[in-house]
Structure 1
Amino acid sequence: MSRTALIEAYLAGGETLRAAVAGLPRDQWTSLPGPGAWSILEVVCHLADSEALFTDRMKRVVVEERPPLIYADAAAFVAGLACPVRDLPEEVELLSAMRRQMARILEAQPESAWSRIGIHSRQGEQTLEQLLQKAIVHLEHHVGFIRRKREALVVM
């Protein structure tokens, strides 16, 4: 996939997430249907929190020399970062805004930036391009969970 296509796919993730939760009544945000132990709100909070991490990692890879990229425990984030009181549409907009900002930054990077490396504390060396690909796949993976959870809500 070309860099332009990668950035477009990354940018489209915000709308993909928005569409996945569109029309979901507030009383279903915290229901626990379908796959996984998290509610739809918890999945969306996880995506927003992860996006902040992906954005930070990509920015540091662009500007720092081989920066450390620290592992984050997703379950600890969901358990400890007050997901039940967070607002689902706000979390979607936060993710979308981070992606819009980061897309502009990525579009402005020279060719050489795409092979710059960060050192993940568990996964080792990761290029800017690999980080972008991971952010895209991560959102798509979790949107699949959201869709299956919504289908299970209809059956309930």
Structure 2
Amino acid sequence: MRIIQPPKPGDYPPYAEMYMKLIPTDGMVLKYLQNNFYRVKDLIYSLPPQHLLYRYAPGKWSIKETLVHIIDDERIFAYRALRFARNEQQNLVGFDQDSYAKYSGADTRLLDNIFDEYEAVRHATIALFNGLPEEAFDRLGHGTGTFNNATVRALAYHIAGHEMHHYFLIKDKYLKM
């Protein structure tokens, strides 16, 4: 798997720092994406089925909704990486993650079905970043709203860090029932 050097401050919007700091800076982000998928899967499959619908506070997502959110976010940020890698100059708009979760139907899906999709998206993400030309990683794309400018390399780290952010949230908030 290829080495992708970590982004520098300025390669991503300030809010993304919370994700960047969760991934080691050794350039092995694609290996972390591969391994952390199994880390998440092992944790979730170790839980009793009733935990998958638990919400730690009113208005918070269930664990199933959180998993589908991770998938949606990865798909969207991989698409952004593709556009920026291909030197797209049009601004990209953000997305309403709460609306996505609300209409995902995650709580009615079988866990195996969610993980089938999760794994397919993860394989596609790794393949995308593995296949990009080296010069693409420093291309900067532009967004609007809370999604500001980011480099392709920053988006790889965002995807990995975002997953770990939710992994730790599940461990810290959802498993203390």
TM-score (normalizing by structure 1): 0.84
CA distance in 2 between partners of 1:57 and 1:110 (Å)? 16
Indicate whether 1:9 and 2:32 are aligned.
yes
Conserved in 1, the CA contact under 8 Å of 2:54 and 2:174?
Answer: no
Which of 127, 136, 153 is equivalent to 1:104? Answer: 127
Which of 137, 144, 155 is equivalent to 1:131? Answer: 155
Deviation at 1:35, TM superposition (A): 10
CA distance in 2 between partners of 1:9 and 1:43 (Å)? 19
Indicate whether 1:47 and 2:65 are aligned.
no
> In the superposition, relative to structure 1, how do residues 11 and 68 fare at CA in structure 2: closer, same or farther (>3 Å)?
farther
> In the superposition, relative to structure 1, how do residues 108 and 97 fare at CA in structure 2: closer, same or farther (>3 Å)?
same
After TM superposition, list the pairs within 5 Å mapping 1:135-146 onto structure 2. 135-146=159-170
The number of residues matched between the two structures is 152
Conserved in 2, the CA contact under 8 Å of 1:15 and 1:96?
Answer: no
Give the AA of the match of 1:16.
R
TM-score (normalizing by structure 2): 0.75
Conserved in 1, the CA contact under 8 Å of 2:29 and 2:156?
Answer: yes
CA distance in 2 between partners of 1:12 and 1:61 (Å)? 26
Deviation at 1:149, TM superposition (A): 3.9
Structure showing the higher helix proportion among its residues:
1
Partner of 2:18: none
CA distance in 2 between partners of 1:152 and 1:23 (Å)? 14
Deviations 1:33-74 (A, max 9, x none): 379822111111211111221221122222242343221111
Which of 92, 96, 106 is equivalent to 1:73? Answer: 96
| Secondary structure, counterpart of 1:68 in structure 2 | coil
Which of 109, 115, 138 is equivalent to 1:86? Answer: 109
Give the AA of the match of 1:116.
R
Partner of 2:175: 151
> In the superposition, relative to structure 1, how do residues 113 and 56 fare at CA in structure 2: closer, same or farther (>3 Å)?
same
Conserved in 2, the CA contact under 8 Å of 1:45 and 1:83?
Answer: yes
> Structure 2, unaligned stretches of length 5 or more?
5-26
> Structure 1, unaligned stretches of length 5 or more?
none
Conserved in 2, the CA contact under 8 Å of 1:55 and 1:98?
Answer: no
CA distance in 2 between partners of 1:67 and 1:101 (Å)? 24
Conserved in 2, the CA contact under 8 Å of 1:35 and 1:148?
Answer: no
